[in-house]
Amino acid sequence: MPELLQSIQGLLVTLASFVVVLSVVVFVHEFGHFQVARWRGVAIDTFSIGFGKTLFGWRDKKGVQWKVGALPLGGYVKFADDADAMSTAPREKIEDPAALAEARNKGLFHAQPLSTRSMVVAAGPLTNFVFSIFAFGLLAFAFGRDVPSVASVEPNSPASAAGLRPGDVVRSIDGQRVGNFQDLQRLVALSPGRTLTLVALRDEREVTVQITPRSREDNPQMGSIGITHDSSPTNREPIGPVEAIGVGAANTWAIIAQTG
């Protein structure tokens, strides 16, 4: 019974975390649409986080209805002339030039020039992109960077044969900078059977070794060298704000590359 309760508790925590993260991502995305639309003079009817019955909301001085829906799985910005929350265009297309000009002056989204509509549409994903860089960068600045140090060396492993020792800090592999242990794992995993030049810091001196990753037993297409990593919170080094932004950009790009 205690195990079942722990499983249920873990599931609830996971679901709650998912809802919180999704809500933040959706809010940032829709806020991007909202801000650019307001900047371009587009009339906005509703800004909603979630769908369904309104839990609470208010209308601001510019007439925008802000609300939170009962189903927190998404959100939307509804423009004044949208047919629905999906920003569907009105059924009747404005053909008359005078009527089109009047609709544009009123700020109706679907009557705006292509340039304005394109900027509003692109603002959502672009804002998510910038926010992701900022969020990852803030975490890196607050908690520092993982140090790619060796905690232990497996006997009769490529690392042992190359002369790596516990305490060594790997700085580069084949000329590619190793900023954290994940970088090291990635470069090694991609090179089974290929000799690599590894530069490590040992007792404040640089040492260079040649190392040939072996194929992993569970996946022969991936390499390993037989080391473990010190993942303790104390094994981190502080970084400055500029470098933190670089880390944020790198992490964001890695996620984009992984998701295709």
Residue 33's closest CA among 104, 115, 126, 129? 126
Q: Which tokens hold the place of 154?
A: 């497996």
Q: pLDDT tens digits for 100-152?
A: 889 899 999 999 999 999 999 999 999 999 999 999 999 989 988 888 999 99
Q: pLDDT tens digits for 225-257?
A: 999 998 777 788 888 999 999 989 988 887 887
Task: Please determine, for residue 84, whether its predicted confidence score (pLDDT) is greater than 90.
Answer: no
Query: Per the residue annotation, which of 30, 204, 217, 243 is the catalytic one?
Result: 30
What is the value of pTM for the model shown?
A: 0.70
198 phi and psi angles, rounded to 5 deg: -115, 130
C-alpha 220/C-alpha 170 separation (Å) is 24
Residue 144's closest CA among 256, 217, 232, 48? 232
The per-residue pLDDT for 230 is 82
Q: How confident is the model at residue 2 (pLDDT cuts 50, 70, 90)?
A: low
Task: Please determine, for residue 218, whether its predicted confidence score (pLDDT) is greater than 60.
Answer: yes
Share of the chain above pLDDT 90, in %: 59
Mean pLDDT of 69-79: 87
Residue 95 annotated in active site: no
Q: 33-50: string of b/e by CB count within 10 Å (b at 16+)?
A: bbebbbebebbbebbbbb
DSSP 131-175: HHHHHHHHHHHHH-EE--BEEEE-TTSHHHHHT--TT-EEEEETT
